[in-house]
Chain A
Amino acid sequence: MSVSDGPAIRIERVTKRRGALTVLADVSLEVPRGQVVALLGPSGAGKSTLLRCINHLDTIDSGKIFVDGDLIGYREHGDVLHELPDDHISRQRQRVGMVFQNFNLFRHLTAIDNVMAGPLHVRGMARPAAEALARTLLKQVGLEEKAAAFPNQLSGGQQQRVAIARALAMSPGVMLLDEPTSALDPELTQEVVATIRSLAGQGLTLVIATHEMAIVRDFADRVLFMVQGELVEDASPEEFFRVPRHERARQFVARHA
C-alpha cells in the first residue's frame, strides 16, 4: 500500500464552492515526502479549507486529492467520483495527522488519555502499550509531568503540544497544521514553534497554514501564498521574501520584513 517514491500529497485541479463563493479555485499542488510547506495568505483565502479537504473533513466539488498515492474520500468509477463509505475514509485519515487552531483537545479526557485515544479506540492497541506510547510522546513534547491534567488545566501552548502528541500517536506520514499558533500569545507561540521545528527534523511531511514568521523563515522548505482560493505564489522562503510576485504577497512581505 505504501508508494514510497511518489509525492506525499498530490492535489489535482481542486475546486470547492460555498454557495456563490469559490473557496478553492482550481488548485493543483504536489508536496514531496518530508517537505515542510508554509501556507500563507490573508484570512479567508482558503488555507484552512485546503487543509480540511486533504483530510476529507470538508468535501470538494471537483478535482482529486491523493495522499501517498491514495485518492482521498472517493472511488473513481469512469469519470464520476463516488464518495467512499465512512469506515474507509476513517482508515485514510489515520495516515494524516491534523492540528487545529483551537487545539480541540477532548475536554473530558486527561492529556495522556487524549494522546491514547487514537491508538486505543482506532488502532485497537492494548491499553498498556497505548499508555507507554502516549508517555513517550508527551515526553517528546515536554509535557510528561502534565499527563494527568485535563485540558482546562493547561495553558494554550501546553494544549497545543498535547494536540501535536495526539496526532503523532497515529504515526502519520503527513501532518496538517491549521494556524497552530494563531490562538496563542507570543511567549506560548515560541514553545509550540519549537515543537513543530522538532517534527520538521523527523522527516514528516508538514503543511502549516500560518502567519508566524519564525516558522516561515527558520524551517519551511517552501512557501505557498493563497489569495481568494487561488495559489498565487509557490517559492522557496528566500525567493518569496526577495521577489514576491503577487500584489498581496508583496504587501504581506512589506508588512513582515
Chain B
Amino acid sequence: MSIVVANSSSAPAAVQRVVHRRHWGAWIFGVVVLLGVAALVKAAIAARIVDLGIVGQYIFSRQIVTGAINSLALGTVALLIAVAVGLVTALMRVSGNPILVAFAAAYVYLFRGTPMLIQLIFWFNAFPTMFKRLHVEVWGTVLVSVPMTQLITPYGAALLGLSLAEGAYMSEIIRGGILAVDAGQRDAARSLGMSTARLMRRIVIPQASRIIVPATGNQYIMLLKSTSLASAIGYLELLRISTDIYASNFRVVELLTVAAFWYLVMTAFATAIQTGLEQRFPHR
C-alpha cells in the first residue's frame, strides 16, 4: 500500500473532464416527430381547413362569450355543490354506521356507475313527469307548492345532474383524503381531549383538503368540459351556442375551433386556481 501526497515539487495530475452519454436514439426520433408535425401543418394550410377570419369574427362575440361564462358558472357551482355532497357522503362512509355506510356506498355506485348524459336527461325529461309538483307542508301550513316544470329548467336540471354525478366522484376522492391522514394525528388530537367532531374539523379535514387538491383540480377540469353535455337538454352553454350558430352558417370547423379555444381558457383558469391552492396550502 502506498500513499502519494501531492506537493509543490510534483506536478499536479490533470483533472479529467466528464462527458455524459448522449441519447442519440431519442434525438433522431424527435427529429422524425418534428418532420411529421411540419407535414401536417403544411397540408392543413394547403387545404384551407379553417378560415381564421371567421374564427376571429366569432371568438369574442357576445353570444359565444356568454356561452363560455354560462359553462364556467355551471361547472364551478356544480363543483362547489359536489364538494359539499362528497364531504357529507364521505363522512357517512367512514362513520362505521352500517345504514350510513350502505346509503353512501349506494349513492356512489348509482351516480358514478351511470352516464352523466343519462342523468341529465333523466332530471330534465323524466323527473318532472314522475313528480308533477313540489309540495312542502308542515302541520297544515303550505311552505312551497310549485309545479316541477317551473323548478326543473334546463339550468336547474343541468346543475342538479352535474352536481350529483360529480358528488359521487368527489365522495371517493374526499374519503381517500381522509383515510390518507395518519392515524397518529387522530390519536394525538384525542389525547389532547378533542371530541371526534372537533378533531375532524381541526385536524383531519384540513390535512385531507391539502391531499385532495390535485385530484379535485382534475375533476374541476373534467366538469368544466362535461358542462357541454347540458347542450343535450337545451341549456345555452358554450357548445350549444356554437352548434346553434353553425347550424345556420355551416361553419362547423370554425365554430368548433372557437368553442375549443374557450374550453382551453377555462382549463387554464382551473389549473391556475389549483396551482394557487397548492402553493397556499402545501401538503407537509
Please report A residues at the B interface, Cβ cutoff 8 Å: 52, 55, 57, 86-87, 90-91, 93-94, 96-98, 100, 102, 104-108, 117-118, 121-122, 150-152, 163, 166-167, 170
Contact = CB atoms under 8 A, between A and B. Distances in A.
A102 B194 contact: no
Given A108-B284, A122-B198, A55 B188 contact: no
12 contacts: A57-B190, A87-B195, A90-B194, A90-B195, A97-B191, A98-B187, A98-B191, A100-B187, A108-B206, A108-B207, A117-B192, A122-B194
Contact of B207 (A91, A97, A100, A107): A107
Given A104-B182, A121-B198, A91 B206 contact: no
Given A102-B184, A104-B185, A150-B284, A86 B192 contact: no
B203 interface: yes
Contact of A122 (B187, B192, B206): B192
Contacts, number: 71
B210 interface: yes
Given A121-B198, A170-B192, 14 more contacts: A52-B187, A57-B190, A87-B195, A93-B192, A94-B193, A100-B184, A100-B188, A104-B182, A104-B185, A108-B281, A121-B194, A122-B192, A166-B192, A170-B193
B196 interface: yes
A55 B192 CA distance: 10
Contacts of A94: 192-193
B191 A91 contact: no
Contacts of A106: 185, 188-189, 203, 207
Contacts of A87: 195
A118 B188 CA distance: 10
Interface string B196-212: 10100011001100100
Nearest to B201: A121
Contacts of B281: 108
Interface in B13-41: none
A96 B191 contact: yes
A100 B193 CA distance: 15
A150 B190 CA distance: 21
Contacts of B189: 106, 117
Contacts of B195: 86-87, 90
A94 B189 CA distance: 11
B221 to A, nearest CB: 25
A100 B210 CA distance: 24
A83 to B, nearest CB: 13
A108 B181 CA distance: 11
A121 B281 CA distance: 21
Contact of A93 (B184, B193, B203): B193
A94 B192 CA distance: 6
Nearest to B202: A121
A96 B187 CA distance: 13
Contacts of B182: 104
Contacts of A105: 188
Given A107-B207, A107-B284, A91 B193 contact: yes
A57 B207 contact: no
Given A107-B207, A108-B207, A151-B284, A118 B185 contact: no
A167 B195 CA distance: 16
A93 B185 contact: no
A111 to B, nearest CB: 12
A197 to B, nearest CB: 22
Interface string B153-184: 00000000000000000000000000000101
B284 A104 contact: no
Nearest to B183: A104
Contacts of A163: 188
B202 A117 contact: yes
Contacts of A90: 190, 193-195
Given A86-B196, A121-B198, A150-B284, A107 B191 contact: no
A97 B210 CA distance: 28
Contacts of A102: 184
Nearest to B196: A86
A152 B206 CA distance: 16
B185 A107 contact: yes
A106 B185 CA distance: 6
